[in-house]
Amino acid sequence: MLTGIIVYGLVNSSILLLVALGFCLTFGVSRIANFAHGAIYILFGYLMWIFLNWLKIPFLFAILLTLVLSGIFGYVAYYVAVRRVRGIVLSEVVSTFALGVGILEFFRWMGFVTYEFSLPPIKKGSLYILGFPIDYQRLIIILAAIGLVAFLYFFTHYTKLGLSFRAIAQNERTAIALGIDADRVAALSVAFGSAFASVASILVLPLGIISINSGYEALLIAIAVGIVGGLESIPGMILASLVLGFVQIVVGVYVSSAWVMVVYLLAIIVILVVMPSGLLGKFKELEERV
């Protein structure tokens, strides 16, 4: 039982981290709460499905195409849905949420709601860890979560674009004074967030079917992990994913799986009341950015 909780807790935490990473990256860099995040996650799940099943594009190429298109989508979405209302938090949320609902309900209207809509796993089969069975896909999810965090660290410390992400995140006006184009960085931060969402959908969606509702759920996951973790630190997101991921598994095992979703909402409420800046967040940064 304990092995099971540990293994599935890790898998679940990795899923939460993968789903939330893009949302938190965008917010951490440019303070844009992209409420279309869950819809983007599903959009590129469906697109991947269309590439594989209708257009018969080879698997690896379809992945590449999905990643690139999701990045472009995020970039364009910034200019279409966010730029004009930039800085007005409520309008940003309403605008991106409207975009998200539009995307999701479009697929519902198109009839993308049956069981045939599922993505293939990257590798079929399973193995035993400490006598406990786990399939390759879930193992890949854990490795991918670790890999993505490592990538993010490398990217934000050693590439020019990543460094300008951190510059804007830390002090936008100083960054602008040094010649960084804040608008372009904001658009790229949405592009990266969107590409991260498509990575998550390629890895996580094969565990079930692609459904409209999981788009709304993905947004909830992103918000929960972001708020619990503090929205701007990678360690905070990892910690939040682990806490939420394990609590959910324990609740699922000992209470009832019906309560699993409640964990997100309770966590959001408790954190907002007790530690409004999150487990590892720093609210003071908001003042320093001015």
Instruction: Note the residues at the interface with another protein (CB under 8 A).
Output: 84-88, 157, 160-161, 163-164, 166-167, 170-171, 173-182, 288
Q: Print burial letters for 58-71: b (CB count within 10 Å at least 16), e (below 16).
A: eeeebbebbbebbb
Kindly tell me which of 53 and 171 has the beta carbon lying closer to another protein.
171
Kindly tell me which of 8 and 172 has the beta carbon lying closer to another protein.
172
Kindly tell me which of 167 and 199 has the beta carbon lying closer to another protein.
167
Kindly tell me which of 113 and 180 has the beta carbon lying closer to another protein.
180
C-alpha 149/C-alpha 155 separation (Å) is 10
C-alpha 269/C-alpha 276 separation (Å) is 9
DSSP 102-148: HHHHHHHHTT--STT--PPPSS--EEEETTEEEEHHHHHHHHHHHHH
Closest CA to 197 of 73, 41, 77: 41
Closest approach, Cβ 22 to another protein, in A, equals: 22
CB 63 within 8 A of CB 4: no
| Amino acid letter, 60 | L
Closest approach, Cβ 181 to another protein, in A, equals: 4
Closest approach, Cβ 195 to another protein, in A, equals: 21
Four-residue CA torsion sign, 275, 185, 149, 195 = positive
Closest approach, Cβ 56 to another protein, in A, equals: 41
Closest approach, Cβ 39 to another protein, in A, equals: 24
Closest approach, Cβ 28 to another protein, in A, equals: 12
Kindly tell me which of 180 and 209 has the beta carbon lying closer to another protein.
180
Kindly tell me which of 261 and 279 has the beta carbon lying closer to another protein.
279
C-alpha 129/C-alpha 24 separation (Å) is 32
